[in-house]
Amino acid sequence: MGATDQSRRVALPSSPELPPHGWSTHETLERLEALRVTDVRWKEGRAFSLAYQASPEAHDLATEAYRRFSGENALNVEAFPSLRAMQTDVLAIAGRWLGAPDTARGFLTSGGTESILMAMKAARDQFRRDKTHPNVVLPTSAHAAFHKAGAYFDVELRCVPVCSETWRVDGSAMARASDANTIMFVASAPQYPQGVVDPVADIAALALERGVNCHVDACMGGVTLPYLERLGVALPKWNFAIEGVTSMSVDLHKFGYTAKGASVIMYRNAALRSHQGFVTDNWLGGVYGSSGVLGTKSGGPIAAAWAVLHHLGDDGYLRLVRSARETALSIAAAIRADSRLVLRAEPDATLLSFGSATPDLDIYAVADGLAVRGWYVDRQAPPPSIHLTVNAIHAETHQQFLTDLAVTLDAVGNSSGTLGSYGTLE
Ligand SMILES: *Cc1c(COP(=O)(O)O)cnc(C)c1O
């Protein structure tokens, strides 16, 4: 992948020089557009990862709302009451999706990673006095952001393997991995790699019994699961309706279909949330407080989230979730029907993954073949798999995807590919 990236970069008309005379708006925008010619065509439903599209109209609205508030600064909502009002509305809407009680208090973050960082930081500070070498117990399927949080905040992570058939963790194994220094248990709804919902009730019961926190990572499912329930999909309990759940994360910039930079961290009550904030007056600038990781924080993502939520509305999300779900099930059925492939799990929501059913077929070579045909899929391991995050846009493109997948499988032979990396260090 590195070589391709390198050659692409050279071919692009980028410009490392500060122009002696500034470019006109027109020229600058032309050059910006030229830079993106080799980008993944996500608005055309070609990416099964990284980007989400409800409709051109919703995207344009998000962009316009973002543009209007891009310069406002959510570091201080006293100065920008508009941002406070929008954040309050968005948190209330997300709270209802998550079954949050009236006591719940949240914060709009820049993404799932920041939401998870904040849950981990809050738990660490909450138990700081009694638990000097804190640990968090989580399934191996939990998102990499928990590992990042552990590394940032010096919290030990105890990973419990998931069952290789169901991809779910066993509550009693989580119990065995915990001890007196455990500050938090983690469950995902759904977990990213195979798209299944963890036994949240078992994990939360354990946390309740130990008097510690339980974070449910609903970065993916926080928007989709409430609508899937309304559509009659049988799901285990997954949200604040379970007593032991103390905090939850949901990404608005995924299935909320809003602009990048919007996620919610929600706590069961204000006391839990109080450990998230940071205040100092130990500098020459007076009292400085902030709730999240960022200092200066654009109003753009907040305005875009507020706009898109209200524009799509309850019926819009119901329609979009139904569409993504039907598409995911149709792709899952096609994979199940192909003897060369193995579907890792029946999708609980709209995420799925599949691997090779035979030793001669390298699933990453399949991903390469798909890339040549203009499709961007996730590569994951273990076990070596392709992952698809199916969203509303794929209703229009999945038939072509399945056709190209079949063509790729016929053509791939015994060539090999590589895992690559979800994110990059650049
Ligand atoms: C995407 C995701 C995250 C991380 O969110 P970012 O917005 O990428 O920071 C965490 N958990 C799950 C389950 C996710 O899908």
Q: Residue of the nearest CA to atom 6 in ligand 1?
A: 112
CA of 48 from ligand 1 middle (Å) equals 14
Q: Decide which of 274 and 419 is more confident.
A: 274
pLDDT of residue 12: 53
Whether 264 and 333 map to the same domain: the answer is no
Using DSSP, state whether 280 is helix, strand or coil: strand
- Nearest atom of ligand 1 to the alpha carbon of 188: 13
Q: Residue of the nearest CA to atom 4 in ligand 1?
A: 112
Q: Is 259 among the domain residues?
A: yes
pLDDT of residue 1: 39
- Nearest atom of ligand 1 to the alpha carbon of 112: 5
CA of 300 from ligand 1 middle (Å) equals 20
Whether 190 and 297 map to the same domain: the answer is yes
User: Is pLDDT above 50 for 5?
Assistant: no
CA of 156 from ligand 1 middle (Å) equals 20
Report the share of the chain in percent with pLDDT over 70: 97
Whether 238 and 284 map to the same domain: the answer is yes
Q: Residue of the nearest CA to atom 14 in ligand 1?
A: 219
pLDDT digits (tens, 9 = 90+) for 208-227: 999 999 999 999 999 999 99
Boundary-marking domain end, from 308, 331, 352? 308
CA of 236 from ligand 1 middle (Å) equals 21
Stretch 72-89: mean pLDDT: 97
User: Is pLDDT above 80 for 10?
Assistant: no
Whether 376 and 319 map to the same domain: the answer is yes
CA of 28 from ligand 1 middle (Å) equals 33
- Nearest atom of ligand 1 to the alpha carbon of 351: 15
Q: Is 45 among the domain residues?
A: no
Q: How many domains in the chain?
A: 3
pLDDT category at 53 given cuts 50, 70, 90 is very high
pLDDT category at 2 given cuts 50, 70, 90 is very low
402: CATH: 3.90.1150.10
CB atoms within 10 A of CB 115: 31
Stretch 299-303: mean pLDDT: 98
Whether 191 and 147 map to the same domain: the answer is yes
Q: Is 48 among the domain residues?
A: no
User: Is pLDDT above 50 for 66?
Assistant: yes
pLDDT category at 7 given cuts 50, 70, 90 is very low
pLDDT of residue 413: 87
d(C-alpha 290, C-alpha 74), whole Å = 10
**From 251, 253, 353, 424, mutation site for ligand 1 pocket: most ligand atoms within 8 A of C-beta:** 251
Q: Residue of the nearest CA to atom 12 in ligand 1?
A: 219
Q: Is 55 among the domain residues?
A: no
pLDDT of residue 424: 81
pTM attached to this predicted model: 0.95
- Nearest atom of ligand 1 to the alpha carbon of 263: 7
Q: Is 8 among the domain residues?
A: yes
Whether 252 and 226 map to the same domain: the answer is yes
- Nearest atom of ligand 1 to the alpha carbon of 192: 13
Boundary-marking domain end, from 281, 308, 335? 308
**From 120, 143, 224, mutation site for ligand 1 pocket: most ligand atoms within 8 A of C-beta:** 143
Boundary-marking domain end, from 253, 275, 308? 308
pLDDT category at 34 given cuts 50, 70, 90 is very high
**From 219, 224, 253, 422, mutation site for ligand 1 pocket: most ligand atoms within 8 A of C-beta:** 219
CA distances (Å), origin 367, targets 40, 346, 361: 14, 21, 11
In contact, 148 and 115? CB cutoff 8 Å:
no
CA of 129 from ligand 1 middle (Å) equals 30
User: Is pLDDT above 70 for 394?
Assistant: yes
pLDDT digits (tens, 9 = 90+) for 238-270: 999 999 999 999 999 999 999 999 999 999 999
Q: Residue of the nearest CA to atom 3 in ligand 1?
A: 112
CA of 218 from ligand 1 middle (Å) equals 9
CA of 52 from ligand 1 middle (Å) equals 13
Whether 78 and 100 map to the same domain: the answer is yes
Lookup: tokens for 327: 């598409």
User: Is pLDDT above 90 for 284?
Assistant: yes
CB atoms within 10 A of CB 108: 27
pLDDT digits (tens, 9 = 90+) for 303-316: 999 999 999 999 99
Whether 141 and 190 map to the same domain: the answer is yes
Q: Is 198 among the domain residues?
A: yes
Query: Which residue type sits at 22?
Result: G
d(C-alpha 375, C-alpha 45), whole Å = 9
Residues with CB under 6 A from ligand 1: 111-113, 116, 143, 145, 188, 192, 217, 219-220, 251, 263
Its domain, for residue 70, covers: 64-308
* Residue in this structure with the two tokens 């993916």, named with its chain if needed: 220
How do beta strands 385-389 and 378-380 pair?
antiparallel
Whether 179 and 140 map to the same domain: the answer is yes
Least confident of 132-136, 149-153, 160-164, 410-414: 410-414
d(C-alpha 262, C-alpha 111), whole Å = 5
d(C-alpha 119, C-alpha 122), whole Å = 5
CA of 109 from ligand 1 middle (Å) equals 12
Q: What does pLDDT average to over the chain?
A: 95
pLDDT digits (tens, 9 = 90+) for 317-360: 999 999 999 999 999 999 999 999 999 999 999 999 999 999 99
CA of 369 from ligand 1 middle (Å) equals 27
Q: Residue of the nearest CA to atom 8 in ligand 1?
A: 112
Nearest 5°: the CA angle 316, 318, 320 is: 70
Angle between helices 300-336 and 81-97 (to 10 degrees): 30
